[in-house]
Amino acid sequence: MFGTSGIRGPIGETVTAELALSVGRAVGADAGTVVVARDVRDSGRALVDALAAGLVESGTDVVDLGVVATPTAARAVGRRNADAGAVVTASHNPPPDNGLKLWSPSGRAFGPERRETVADRITAESFDLAAWDAHGDRRSWDGAERAHRAALVDAGRREFAARDADPTDLSVVVDVGTGTGGVTADALSDLGVDVETLNARPDGRFPARPSEPTADACASLRRFVSATDADLGIAHDGDADRTMAVDDAGSFVPGDLLLATFATDVAGPGDRVAAPVDTSLVVDDALEAAGASLVRTRVGDVHVAERATEAGVVFGGEPSGAWIFPAETLCPDGPLAAVRLSALAAERPLSERVAGFDPYPIRRTNHRTDRTAAVVDAVREACAESGESVSTLDGVRVSRDDGWFLVRASGTQPLVRVTAEARDPAAADDLLATAEGLVTAAIERTGE
């Protein structure tokens, strides 16, 4: 039921109002107050109402934030002294999808145990509904975005001051992607930054570009940054838990290099940074040069956040664009990442920072299949028989002298993801070909 980032899938198939009602009942079984919110997808209207109905029916009070960014809602859980938060969102997935993600008061997404408890209650239909006169209340709160915006401005002032940088000298283009990330532009404007926006009108059909801020999706942002001589371009996904960037030269910054940029700014000697198994070796090398180290996790911000609670872990990130600053919050906060990156760019151009890293060729592809677990299991068996160095922390990661490849099931879509990296292009291509050969053979063996 739960993937790496909550529940997601096609509306009317995987995700229905009936499911949202059940999630509300299951979460409400041991919660006195729950914060709810949704992203801009129109299907969210029915889902958030069903979710709230399940909570109220369980005797739980509901604080409805309306349409806000996911990190805005995650931060509001603790701010409202609630026991949990539930956001109706499919994040970067395509428009026909929607989903639900659950949050704890710390800003961290529900971990495996809490997710399993919710799933078990739904499967068993084990709901403790309140008496007719003990239903919870549902009330709205329109202060969540103001509070988030104020926190972003406070963080921005600290970051700019620490670098002795003047925000009024900086120009930033924010591509909201027709999602909920407008709070980023507002906070930067409050700081005195010269801000231009793209695709700022909310529209859950995502007509301007795909919700996920990939290099291809950010083509208009790249052109706009170049044409206006802006210092930085920021791109969010639909619910603004992700942030990607375009540098002052108009070039899209790959996620691994953006991760290295954040990590080396935050981490010093003896510090640790949490990142998933598909992270490039360039991050390891950059942290080693700074006297810090990388700890690898399973893919998914919930796993990165879990390691970010450990002593000595000062930052967590995923190359997909989720950035966690545990000193402030355990949720991936795209607007916070945007503000911090703006301060970095004001101190020294992002293009210069990125040029300081020595990236290796990395290849990423996807294979669509409805039997992702079976395919990965088949690859695991094949690799185990080969005698190679294999890690099964998340999927199958094979390490060789010249690089590595990873085969893992997506936690949000019916895809098997393949990643390969080496220190020269030919070796990376060979590793990718080997991994894809294993996946293709596994798909054939599993009957598709």
pLDDT digits (tens, 9 = 90+) for 390-416: 999 999 999 998 899 999 998 777 899
Residue 143: predicted pLDDT: 97
pLDDT tens, position by position, 242-275: 999 999 999 999 999 999 999 999 999 999 999 9
pLDDT tens, position by position, 183-207: 999 999 999 999 999 999 999 999 9
pLDDT tens, position by position, 63-106: 999 999 999 999 999 999 999 999 999 999 999 999 999 999 99
Alpha carbon distance 435, 419 (integer Å): 8
405 and 318 in a common domain: no
Last-in-domain residue among 322, 355, 388: 355
Q: Phi first, then psi: what are they for 152, rounded to 5°?
A: -65, -40
Q: Smallest Cα–Cα separation from 340: which of 88, 152, 109, 142?
A: 152
Q: Smallest Cα–Cα separation from 248: which of 166, 351, 168?
A: 351
| Per-position DSSP letters for 100-167, written without gaps between them | EEEE-TTSPBP-HHHHHHHHHHHHHT---PPPTT-PPPEEE---HHHHHHHHHHHHHHHHHHHTT--G
User: Quick one: average pLDDT of 46-73?
Assistant: 98
The boundaries of the domain holding residue 173 are 146-355
From the list 5, 58, 91, 211, the catalytic residue is 91
Share of the chain above pLDDT 90, in %: 92
Alpha carbon distance 95, 205 (integer Å): 5
User: Quick one: average pLDDT of 387-391?
Assistant: 83
Asked whether residue 298 carries a pLDDT value surpassing 80, the answer given is: yes
Q: Smallest Cα–Cα separation from 397: which of 273, 285, 296, 301?
A: 296
User: Quick one: average pLDDT of 48-77?
Assistant: 98
Average of per-residue pLDDT values in the chain: 95
Domain count, the chain: 3
pTM score: 0.92
279 and 334 in a common domain: yes
241 and 153 in a common domain: yes
Asked whether residue 291 carries a pLDDT value surpassing 60, the answer given is: yes
Q: Phi first, then psi: what are they for 119, rounded to 5°?
A: -65, -40
Residue 354: predicted pLDDT: 97
The CATH number that applies at residue 96 is: 3.40.120.10
User: Quick one: average pLDDT of 299-310?
Assistant: 92
User: Quick one: average pLDDT of 377-385?
Assistant: 91
pLDDT category, 1, cuts 50, 70, 90? Answer: confident
Last-in-domain residue among 108, 126, 142: 142
Cα separation values, 307 from 70, 75, 296, Å: 21, 19, 9
Q: Phi first, then psi: what are they for 362, rounded to 5°?
A: -130, 135
375 and 248 in a common domain: no
Residue 389: predicted pLDDT: 83
Q: Is residue 99 part of a domain?
A: yes
223 and 324 in a common domain: yes
Alpha carbon distance 208, 339 (integer Å): 24
User: Quick one: average pLDDT of 312-329?
Assistant: 96
Residue 448: predicted pLDDT: 56
79 and 46 in a common domain: yes
What helix, strand, coil percent values describe the chain, rounded to 5?
A: 40, 25, 35
220 catalytic, yes or no? no
pLDDT tens, position by position, 199-239: 999 999 999 999 999 999 999 999 999 999 999 999 999 99
What pairs with residue 33 in β-bridges?
61
Q: Phi first, then psi: what are they for 406, rounded to 5°?
A: -130, 135
